[in-house]
């Protein structure tokens, strides 16, 4: 389809050509905002370290592994999360749980000896959470994941089993 160009002449009125009226209008708008900020202390800034932004419940932040009432992790080292992970950041070493430490019996015979997540590789897609048949690995709402050393960014089982309330 050929483009049809329609030229509409919209001549400026002399007030528009003069330009100063528009400037005064603009100045009044900024003055209004200035008064709002200066006298009424209105602002839209979230004062970050003191006030934190509320994210939705579906936000995907730092990982954790849910535990049962005996503080035993729900993970059974089935490798599903490691397989589905597109960033390949999960490394699991499976082992057998000692029968004395396993009151749940056959339900939790298998356990992860190591469960490492390289958070620098993780892309927080949430596939591991979806793949997990035991609802063991989850993504919390924690978003402050800065660390002072590279080794701190590799989450081990002890860190992942931390207590998380709600979505964290």
Query: What is the rounded distance in angstroms from the CA atom of residue 160 to the CA atom of residue 92?
Result: 13
Number of residues that bind another protein (CB under 8 A): 16
Q: Which of 164, 65, 61, 63 is nearest to 112 (CA)?
A: 65
15 binds another protein (CB under 8 A): no
Which residues make Cβ contacts (< 8 Å) with residue 153, sequence separation at least 6?
Answer: 118, 119, 120, 145, 147
Minimal distance, residue 20 CB to another protein, in Å: 8
Examine residue 47 and tell whether it contacts another protein (CB under 8 A).
Answer: yes
30 lies in the site for another protein, by CB under 8 A: yes
By CB under 8 A, tell whether 37 contacts another protein: yes
Tokens read off for 142: 């924690």
Candidates 21, 27, 101, 113: give the one binding another protein (CB under 8 A).
27
For 82, the enclosing helix (H) or strand (E) is: helix 80-84
Cβ proximity of 92 and 155 under 8 Å = no
Q: Which of 16, 21, 34, 79 binds another protein (CB under 8 A)?
A: 34
Question: Burial letters for 8-35: b for 16+ Cβ neighbours within 10 Å, e otherwise?
Answer: eeeeeeeeeeeeeeeeeeeeeeeeeeee
Residue 152 DSSP symbol: G
The length of the chain in residues reads 168
Least CB distance to another protein at residue 27 (A): 5
Q: Is 31 in the site for another protein (CB under 8 A)?
A: yes
Mark the segment that binds another protein (CB under 8 A) among 33-41, 72-80, 108-116, 123-131. Answer: 33-41
Choose, by CB under 8 A, the member of 15, 16, 29, 123 that binds another protein: 29
45 binds another protein (CB under 8 A): yes
* Choice between 43 and 150, CB closer to another protein: 43
Interface contacts to another protein, rule CB under 8 A: 23, 26-27, 29-31, 33-34, 36-38, 42-45, 47
């Amino acid at each position: 389809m050929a483009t049809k160009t329609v030229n509409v002449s919209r001549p400026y009125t002399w007030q528009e050509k003069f330009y100063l009226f528009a400037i005064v209008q603009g100045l009044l708008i900024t003055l209004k905002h200035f008064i709002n900020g200066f006298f009424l202390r209105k602002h839209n800034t979230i004062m970050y370290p003191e006030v934190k932004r509320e994210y939705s419940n579906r936000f995907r932040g730092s990982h954790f592994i849910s535990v049962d009432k005996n503080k035993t992790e729900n993970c059974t080292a089935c490798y599903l999360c490691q397989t589905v992970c597109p960033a390949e950041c999960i490394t699991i070493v499976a082992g057998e749980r000692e029968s004395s430490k396993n009151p749940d019996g056959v339900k939790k015979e298998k356990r992860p000896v190591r469960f490492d997540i390289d958070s620098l590789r993780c892309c927080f897609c949430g596939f591991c959470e979806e793949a997990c048949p035991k609802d063991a690995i989850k993504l919390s709402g924690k978003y402050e994941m800065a660390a002072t050393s590279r080794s701190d960014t590799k989450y081990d089982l002890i860190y992942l089993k931390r207590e998380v309330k709600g979505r964290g």
